[in-house]
Structure formats: C-alpha cells, structure tokens
Amino acid sequence: MGSIAHGLLAAVTLVALAAEPQPGDYTQNCTTASCHGDLTKRPVVHDPVRQDSCDACHEAEDGAEHGFTLTTDAQELCYECHDDPEGANVHPPVAEGQCTACHDPHGAAVKFLLTAPTVSEVCTDCHDELLEDLAFLHGPVAAGACTACHNPHASDLSSLLKRESVKLCTACHETIANRIGTLPHKHPPATEDCTTCHNPHGAGNKMMLNASPPDLCFECHDDIAELAEDATVKHDALTIKKSCSNCHDAHGSTSEHLLSKKPLELCLSCHGKSVKSDGRTLIDIAQKLEDNPRRHGPVGEGDCATCHSPHGGEQFRLLAGAYPSTFYSPFSEDAYALCFTCHDVEAFEDEETDELTDFRNGERNLHFLHVNRETKGRTCRACHDVHASRHPKHITDNVPFGAWSLPIQFVKNENGGSCAPGCHNQYRYDRESPVTNIPKP
Ligand code: HEC
Ligand code: HEC
Ligand code: HEC
Ligand code: HEC
Ligand code: HEC
Ligand code: HEC
Ligand code: HEC
Ligand code: HEC
Ligand code: HEC
Ligand code: HEC
Ligand code: HEC
Ligand code: HEC
Ligand code: HEC
C-alpha cells in the first residue's frame, strides 16, 4: 500500500512525453494525435479527461519545463469532485486516499475505470490469499462479482457488506428464503446467519460448507458428538454418505427435529432394502411392512425412533431401552425395559391370573409360564413380531430358533387359541374352559 502512495507522489512531477513541446504552449491541448491522444481512446474515459480538462488535476510546475504537479494532494484530489465514502467502516485503501489502487484516473478498458478487467482481479491484487485452495468457487465469486456482496469503499456493516447476513444471501437465493419462510420447523442458525455453515467465497466442497457434517454440526451439537462417539452400538447412517444430512435438513423441515423426510419414509429410505453389515444381513423393513398389514402401535404411527436411537446407543439393534438379544433369557422387569415402557409388567409376574393377560389357560398365566424363568425364559420374539405381522396380537409367523425358523401356526379363537411350533405339539389354551394338552412322548 505504501508503494502505491509513493507512486502517486512520484507522479506529481511528470516528465515530458510529447515530442518537442513549445514552452508555455502545452497546457492548451494535451490530447493531440502526437501527444496524450491515447488517453481519450480507451473504451471508458474519465469525464474530465474526455473534456480535455487535464488542468482539473494537473498544473504546470513552471513555464520552462514540461512538468506537472497534481492540483491537490493526491489523497484529496478525487474528493474535489466526488463525495466522501459513506459508512462507519471505511475500506483501508479508501481511507488512505489510494483511489488509484483500483481506478485509473484517465480511462480504462472496463466501466468504473477499474485497473483490471474484473472486480475480483482488482481485489485479489491485495487479497491474494482469499481464494487460494478453494476447489469450488461460489457463483458470484467465480463471476468476479465481489461487489455483489461488498461495497468497495465503505459500509455501516462489518466486512464492508452490502446487506445484513441472511438478507445478503437470500437477495439471490430467493427459493431458499421462501422455503425456510414457510417451514414450521426452522433451524435457528439458518434464520440468523448463513455463513455459520457456508463460506461465502467458496470451499473444498460443492456446497461451500465450512466443514462437512458431522464436524460442521458437532460445532454446536456437542451432546450428539459425545453420544455418537461413546456409543457401543453405532449407526452407520451417521458415517456414510452425507452423515447428519442423511436424516436432517440443515435449513428447516416440515417434520419435527428437522427430519429431511417424514419419519417412516426416512428410515425406509435406507431400510427399504436388506442391509449388509458386519457379516449379517438386516431384513428389508419396507418389505416386512408390505407383507404384514398389522403394524405394531408405534410402527403404525411411523415412529421408529421411540424404540431405536438413531444416533447410537448402548443396546443391541440401537434399541432405546433394554431388550434381551437372545432367544432365552432370565426374566426381570429391567431386562425388558423397552417393552414395559408401554406395556404392563404385571402380565408376566403372577403365575395365576384371571385378568392381567389374555394369554392364559383358565387362570394359568401362559406369559408367566413361558417368559418368567430364572434361566431359559423365552423372550417375546419367540411369539411376537415387534414390527408387523399378519396375525392378531402381533403373533409372528415363525419362531426364530438359531439358524432355524419354525412356523408357529397360531390360530386365535374367541376364548383362546392354539399354536403348533417346533417346540411342542399343537397346544391350545382357553380362558373360559381350560384345556389339557398332551406333551410329546
Ligand atoms: C481526475 C484527475 C486527472 C485528470 C483529469 C487527468 N489526470 Fe493525468 N494523472 C492523474 C493522476 C492522479 C496521475 C498519477 C497516476 C499514478 O501515479 O497512479 C496522473 C498521471 C498522468 C501522467 C503520467 C503517466 C501516467 O499515465 O501515469 C500523464 C502523462 C498524465 N497524467 C496526463 C494527463 C493528461 C494529458 C490529462 C488530460 C487529457 C490528464 N492527465 C488528466 C490524474 C488526472
Ligand atoms: C479497493 C478498490 C477501490 C478503491 C480503493 C476505490 N474504489 Fe471506487 N470503486 C471500486 C469499485 C470496484 C467500483 C465499482 C462499484 C460497483 O461495482 O458497484 C467503484 C466505483 C466507484 C465510483 C462510481 C460508482 C459510485 O460509487 O459512485 C466512483 C465515483 C468511485 N469508485 C470513486 C472512488 C474514489 C473517489 C476513491 C478514493 C476515495 C475510490 N473510488 C477508491 C473500487 C475502489
Ligand atoms: C474534476 C472533477 C473530477 C475529479 C477531480 C475526479 N472525477 Fe471522477 N468523475 C467526474 C465526473 C464528472 C464523472 C462522471 C459523472 C459521474 O459518473 O459521476 C466521474 C466519474 C468517475 C467514475 C465512474 C466512472 C464510470 O465508469 O462510471 C470513477 C470511478 C471516478 N470518477 C473516479 C475518480 C477518481 C479515482 C478520481 C481521482 C483520481 C476522480 N474520479 C477525480 C469528475 C471528477
Ligand atoms: C490496495 C490494496 C487493496 C485492494 C485493491 C483491496 N483491498 Fe480490501 N482491504 C485492504 C486492506 C489493507 C484491508 C485491511 C486488512 C485486511 O483485512 O486484510 C482490507 C480489508 C478488506 C475487507 C475486510 C473489511 C473488514 O471490515 O473486516 C474486505 C471485505 C475487503 N477488503 C474487500 C475488498 C474488495 C471487495 C476489494 C475489491 C473491490 C478489495 N478489498 C480490494 C486492501 C485492499
Ligand atoms: C456472496 C457474497 C460475497 C461475495 C460474492 C464475496 N464476499 Fe467477501 N465476504 C462475504 C461475507 C459474508 C464476509 C464476512 C466474513 C465471513 O463470514 O466469512 C466476507 C468477508 C470478506 C473479507 C474479509 C474476511 C476474510 O475472509 O478475509 C474479504 C477480504 C473479502 N470478503 C473479499 C472478497 C473478495 C475479494 C471477493 C471477490 C473475489 C468477495 N469477497 C466476494 C461475502 C461475499
Ligand atoms: C449475487 C447473487 C448471489 C448471492 C448474493 C449469493 N449467492 Fe449463492 N449462489 C449464487 C449463484 C449464481 C450460485 C451458483 C448457481 C447454483 O449452483 O445454484 C450460487 C451457489 C450457492 C451455493 C451452492 C449451491 C450448489 O448447489 O452447489 C451455496 C451453498 C450458496 N450459493 C450459498 C450462498 C450463501 C450462504 C450466500 C450468502 C453469504 C449466498 N449464496 C449469496 C448467487 C448468489
Ligand atoms: C446449520 C448449517 C447451515 C446453515 C445455517 C445454512 N445452510 Fe445451506 N446447507 C447446509 C448443508 C449441510 C447443505 C447441504 C445439504 C445436502 O448435502 O443435502 C446446504 C445446502 C445449501 C444450498 C444448496 C442446496 C439447496 O438446497 O439448494 C444452498 C443454496 C444453501 N445451502 C444456501 C443457504 C442459505 C441461503 C442459508 C441462509 C439462509 C443457509 N444455506 C444456511 C447447511 C447450512
Ligand atoms: C451455529 C450452531 C449450530 C450449528 C453449526 C448446527 N446447529 Fe443444529 N441447532 C442449533 C440451535 C441453536 C438449535 C435450537 C436449539 C436446540 O434444539 O438445540 C438447533 C437445533 C437442531 C435440531 C432440532 C432439535 C429439535 O429437537 O428439534 C437438529 C435436528 C439440528 N439442530 C441438527 C443440526 C445438524 C444436522 C447440523 C449440521 C448440518 C447442525 N444442527 C448444525 C445450532 C446449530
Ligand atoms: C438415521 C437418521 C439420523 C441421522 C443420520 C442423524 N439423526 Fe439426528 N435425529 C434423528 C431422529 C429420528 C431424531 C428425532 C428422534 C430423537 O429424538 O431421537 C433426531 C434428533 C436429533 C436432534 C434433536 C434431539 C436430540 O436428540 O437432541 C439433534 C440435535 C440431532 N438429531 C442432531 C444430529 C446430528 C448432529 C447428526 C449427525 C451427527 C444427526 N442428528 C444424525 C435421526 C438422525
Ligand atoms: C442413510 C441410510 C440409513 C438411514 C436413513 C437409516 N439407517 Fe439404520 N442402518 C443403516 C446401515 C447402513 C445399517 C447397518 C450398519 C449398522 O449397524 O449401523 C443400519 C443399521 C440399523 C439398525 C441395526 C443396528 C445394529 O447394530 O444392529 C437399526 C435398528 C436401524 N438401522 C434403525 C434405523 C432407524 C430406526 C432409522 C430411522 C430413524 C434408520 N435406521 C435410518 C443405514 C441407515
Ligand atoms: C416397538 C419397538 C420398535 C419399533 C417401533 C421399531 N422397532 Fe425395529 N426393532 C425392535 C426390536 C425389539 C428389534 C430387535 C428384534 C429382534 O432381534 O428380535 C428391532 C430390530 C430392527 C432392525 C434389525 C432387523 C434385523 O434384521 O435384525 C431394523 C433394521 C429395525 N428394527 C428397523 C426399524 C424401523 C425402520 C422401524 C420403523 C419402521 C422400527 N424398527 C420400529 C423394536 C422396534
Ligand atoms: C412406544 C410404546 C410401545 C413399546 C415400546 C412397545 N409397544 Fe407393544 N404396543 C404398543 C401399542 C400402542 C399397542 C396397541 C396397538 C397395537 O395393537 O399395535 C401395542 C401392542 C402390542 C401387542 C399386541 C397387543 C394387543 O392387544 O393387540 C404386542 C404383542 C406388543 N405390543 C408387544 C410388544 C413388545 C414385545 C414390545 C417390546 C419389544 C413392545 N410391544 C413395545 C406400544 C408399544
Ligand atoms: C410363548 C409365546 C409368547 C411369548 C413368549 C410372549 N407372548 Fe405375548 N402373547 C402371546 C399370545 C398367544 C398372546 C395372545 C393372547 C390372546 O389374546 O389370546 C399374547 C398377547 C400379548 C399382549 C396383549 C395383552 C395380553 O397380555 O393379552 C401383549 C401386550 C404381549 N403379549 C406382550 C408380550 C411381551 C412384552 C412379551 C415378552 C416379554 C411377550 N408378550 C411374550 C404369546 C406370547
């Protein structure tokens, strides 16, 4: 910058360029064909130059030499005709009167008498590190239009900005503004400052994000960062492809929790096919729901996240509460905490009952009989499907016994029912008239 100021001072004494000037004569017309004629031939000529009013800015030093000084101090010269810049924050080169760092006082190839063909070339002459290493440049930056956002001289806003933060961006990104405006759930930072997430100039990625999710999101959501980091059971949905953006819309959403799709659709967008992971294959949940019209309460509500922790957790299958992972398990209320957040544990606690459960033979509680054991208690999956089934009471088609899958053949009738799994012969139960079943020989 100092060098530019010196350049200006040096120019105060101009040495003759024209051939054989006649002493005292040269102030009459400076732009003849043989003298400074080129000054008026550029595509954009400064008004006083076009008027041949060289003396608006230059005056002869003395009559004997073809030497000129500027009429005023270089820092003040332009203000003779132009107003002071308006704004609380003045761009340093402007404050220092270095108008000619960006403008040619005589004429230029482009409008505004700029010293380079595009605004950005003018700017990056000094801000040479700004766009370094940016793989993707923002549209207006790539077009060289720094002044789409910045005032080159001064502004009341910080960073010489033309508009306040969100308005700066939505002046062009109207569709984003219109969309966020109509959404019932808005992400607070997207209503406050777009640049908390986007670099206005460009970035290493196409969306110009300051960092990629999840790191971008963890800057503010450190609780989720901790949860995901500490989880013994992790969900790959947080690490594959777009990470958090697989499920959340960072601007806003019609769904609660800024979900990018309706909750059920969201989970099925990945679990609408079987998913291979760590040598096992998770079933296609969409297919399951299509084949089995009776959906379990929360599944029917489309609320997968009441039972599964989408960000990771401590329980197998990302379950939100305890549930045994095995076919057999000792019984305790805690071991089935997940089911007992919504269902009554009493149905499993008394050996005899005439009301706590319909799964009884007379007063003999068959839930107690099967489930409430110190060692080989059968877990709910032996008889129920937690997602959906074709049978009443969410009875499953098949008992998942190790590598086997045994048809359960459940039949329900008015006072009870029957089943014939691989575990025993067809057994019946009847709440009104208890049945005596014959065990396998
Ligand atoms: C609006 C003010 C202004 C007007 C009008 C003006 N000049 Fe200049 N001129 C300057 C300034 C400022 C410099 C110093 C440029 C620098 O060093 O960056 C300069 C420098 C010069 C130089 C030195 C070489 C150069 O281009 O830097 C010549 C020659 C010159 N002017 C000729 C003229 C002639 C001839 C006219 C009239 C046709 C004229 N000027 C009109 C402001 C003006
Ligand atoms: C950092 C570069 C830079 C400096 C320094 C600078 N300008 Fe500008 N100036 C620009 C740019 C770029 C534009 C074009 C504005 C646009 O694109 O909207 C401009 C436009 C102008 C215009 C025409 C439009 C308007 O705003 O009236 C005038 C007059 C002007 N400048 C005068 C000056 C004067 C006088 C100074 C010194 C006090 C100065 N400029 C210093 C970059 C600069
Ligand atoms: C003698 C008066 C005068 C002086 C001194 C003067 N200008 Fe100008 N300038 C004008 C006039 C007149 C216009 C054309 C009307 C307008 O656009 O305001 C103009 C226009 C401009 C423009 C806009 C050009 C365009 O393409 O729209 C810029 C930039 C500019 N001047 C920069 C400067 C700078 C830099 C200086 C100091 C080196 C300076 N002016 C000194 C009178 C002057
Ligand atoms: C002659 C050198 C020079 C040119 C050319 C220049 N700048 Fe600057 N600019 C500076 C200096 C010096 C600073 C203050 C130090 C810094 O932030 O780098 C600055 C600061 C800024 C700032 C930050 C202001 C703040 O309040 O934090 C912005 C924005 C800026 N310039 C934009 C531009 C734009 C846009 C252009 C082109 C129209 C441009 N600059 C051209 C020298 C220049
Ligand atoms: C889409 C709007 C937009 C465009 C276009 C734009 N900027 Fe900026 N610029 C900003 C915003 C917003 C800031 C405030 C700092 C931030 O949040 O990163 C800024 C900050 C700056 C700063 C100061 C802070 C820093 O990062 O060093 C400079 C210098 C700057 N811009 C120069 C430029 C130049 C040069 C261009 C053209 C090549 C340009 N800008 C184009 C919006 C823009
Ligand atoms: C002068 C108009 C203008 C302004 C102001 C502007 N943008 Fe842009 N933006 C564009 C253009 C043009 C593109 C490139 C076209 C496209 O990809 O949609 C773009 C692209 C983007 C993209 C990438 C879109 C993609 O699909 O790759 C993001 C993100 C973006 N802008 C964010 C912002 C933010 C944040 C701001 C405010 C700091 C902002 N824009 C201000 C014009 C603008
Ligand atoms: C909390 C971080 C965050 C904030 C704040 C934010 N964005 Fe984004 N934005 C993103 C992410 C993440 C993406 C990429 C989404 C994807 O990969 O599907 C994106 C994508 C975009 C895109 C390109 C895709 C599209 O939807 O067209 C544009 C343009 C955009 N943002 C503009 C804006 C504007 C304008 C604002 C301010 C009103 C803003 N963003 C605020 C995080 C944010
Ligand atoms: C600049 C800080 C900031 C960044 C960065 C940020 N958020 Fe937020 N986010 C907030 C604030 C503030 C809230 C509202 C208060 C709250 O619910 O924690 C919020 C709320 C949310 C909510 C809604 C919570 C609810 O219960 O409704 C979700 C989901 C969310 N953010 C996801 C994200 C994702 C995904 C990203 C990364 C793309 C991200 N956030 C980046 C600050 C941020
Ligand atoms: C598999 C889809 C999915 C992914 C991936 C995901 N989320 Fe969520 N997120 C959800 C669902 C569903 C909810 C609402 C249910 C709940 O509260 O657990 C939610 C709720 C939230 C909430 C608000 C409630 C709370 O738990 O605090 C925040 C904040 C949040 N997510 C941030 C993030 C961040 C940050 C990431 C990336 C590390 C992320 N999410 C990744 C599905 C996801
Ligand atoms: C972006 C794709 C994606 C989305 C969206 C997604 N998942 Fe997943 N999910 C996976 C992948 C891949 C696996 C297998 C790897 C693993 O265990 O994380 C998986 C595994 C699971 C598992 C088994 C975890 C284990 O360790 O046994 C459950 C349960 C699950 N997801 C539930 C959900 C729920 C509920 C939703 C909706 C909130 C959801 N997923 C949304 C990709 C996704
Ligand atoms: C009522 C609680 C509950 C709800 C609601 C629920 N799940 Fe599950 N989910 C479970 C339980 C329990 C398991 C473990 C089943 C087992 O191992 O017997 C499981 C297992 C899974 C698995 C692993 C399947 C496999 O092949 O091992 C996936 C994937 C899954 N659920 C996705 C979903 C999706 C998607 C939704 C929403 C449509 C959903 N869950 C709703 C309780 C639930
Ligand atoms: C978030 C609450 C919730 C959780 C957790 C839950 N359920 Fe349910 N369950 C319901 C609701 C509501 C119904 C009634 C609607 C229906 O029939 O699906 C129901 C119904 C049932 C039924 C059929 C009862 C009937 O009268 O038709 C069975 C069997 C069942 N659940 C088993 C389980 C098992 C096993 C678990 C644990 C893995 C479990 N549920 C966890 C809410 C829940
Ligand atoms: C051996 C098979 C079997 C096991 C194991 C089993 N159930 Fe059931 N359950 C049934 C049958 C059969 C019915 C239907 C009774 C009827 O309505 O005739 C039933 C009914 C239910 C009902 C409806 C209310 C009631 O009690 O009649 C709920 C809720 C229920 N079971 C939850 C569970 C839970 C939770 C577990 C695991 C802790 C579990 N069941 C284990 C077979 C079983």
Ligand nearest to the Cα of 113, by number: 3
Sign of CA dihedral 152, 156, 162, 168: positive
Q: Cα separation of 203 and 352, whole Å?
A: 69
Q: What are phi and psi of 428, to 5 degrees?
A: -120, 155
> Is 201's C-beta closer than 6 angstroms to any atom of ligand 5?
yes
CA distances to 36, 173, 204, 221 from 251, rounded to whole Å, are: 58, 13, 21, 15
Q: Cα separation of 85 and 241, whole Å?
A: 48
> Is 84's C-beta closer than 6 angstroms to any atom of ligand 3?
no
- Fill in the amino acid letter for 131: L
Q: What is the DSSP string of 197-220?
A: TB-SSEESSTT-BSS-TTHHHHTT
Rounded to the nearest whole angstrom, what is the distance from the C-alpha of residue 157 to the centroid of ligand 13?
Answer: 66
> Which residue among 197, 218, 223, 257 has the greatest number of ligand 9 atoms within 8 angstroms of its CB, and so is best to mutate?
257
> Which residue among 47, 99, 114 has the greatest number of ligand 3 atoms within 8 angstroms of its CB, and so is best to mutate?
47
CA distances to 112, 235, 319 from 312, rounded to whole Å, are: 58, 5, 9
Rounded to the nearest whole angstrom, what is the distance from the C-alpha of residue 170 to the centroid of ligand 6?
Answer: 9
Residue 106 DSSP symbol = S
Q: Cα separation of 198 and 437, whole Å?
A: 70
Rounded to the nearest whole angstrom, what is the distance from the C-alpha of residue 286 to the centroid of ligand 13?
Answer: 24
Q: What are phi and psi of 7, to 5 degrees?
A: -55, -40
Q: What are phi and psi of 401, to 5 degrees?
A: -105, 100
Would you state the pLDDT for residue 22? 52
Q: Cα separation of 212 and 214, whole Å?
A: 6
Q: Cα separation of 330 and 324, whole Å?
A: 9
Measured between alpha carbons, how far apart are the two ends of the chain, in Å? 102
Tokens of residue 205, six digits: 């990625």
> Is 204's C-beta closer than 6 angstroms to any atom of ligand 3?
no
Q: What are phi and psi of 257, to 5 degrees?
A: 60, 25
pLDDT digit of tens for each residue in the chain (441 aa)?
333 333 333 333 344 343 444 544 544 577 776 778 788 889 999 999 998 888 899 887 776 677 778 888 888 999 999 999 999 999 999 999 999 999 999 999 999 999 999 999 999 999 999 999 899 999 999 999 999 999 999 999 999 999 998 999 999 999 999 999 999 999 999 999 999 999 999 998 889 999 999 999 999 999 999 999 999 999 999 999 999 999 999 999 999 999 999 999 999 999 999 999 888 899 999 999 999 999 999 999 999 999 999 999 999 999 999 999 999 999 999 999 999 999 999 999 999 999 999 999 999 999 999 999 998 999 999 999 999 999 999 999 998 888 888 899 999 999 999 998 888 888 999 999 999 988 766
Tokens of residue 327, six digits: 């076919």
Rounded to the nearest whole angstrom, what is the distance from the C-alpha of residue 365 to the centroid of ligand 9?
Answer: 41
Rounded to the nearest whole angstrom, what is the distance from the C-alpha of residue 365 to the centroid of ligand 12?
Answer: 18
Q: Going by C-beta distance under 8 Å and a sequence separation of 6 or more, which residues neighbour residue 129? A: none
Rounded to the nearest whole angstrom, what is the distance from the C-alpha of residue 378 to the centroid of ligand 12?
Answer: 17
Q: Cα separation of 380 and 387, whole Å?
A: 12
Would you state the pLDDT for residue 13? 38
Angle among Cα 286, 337, 342 to the nearest 5 degrees reads 65
Tokens of residue 390, six digits: 């074709």
Q: What is the DSSP string of 367-386?
A: HHHHH--SS-PBPGGGTB-S
Which among 200, 212, 197 is positioned nearest to 142, based on CA atoms?
200
Q: What is the CB < 6 Å shell around ligand 6? A: 138-140, 148-149, 168-169, 171-173, 194-195, 198, 200, 206-208
pTM of the full structure: 0.92
Pick the residue whose CA is nearest to atom 35 on ligand 7: 169
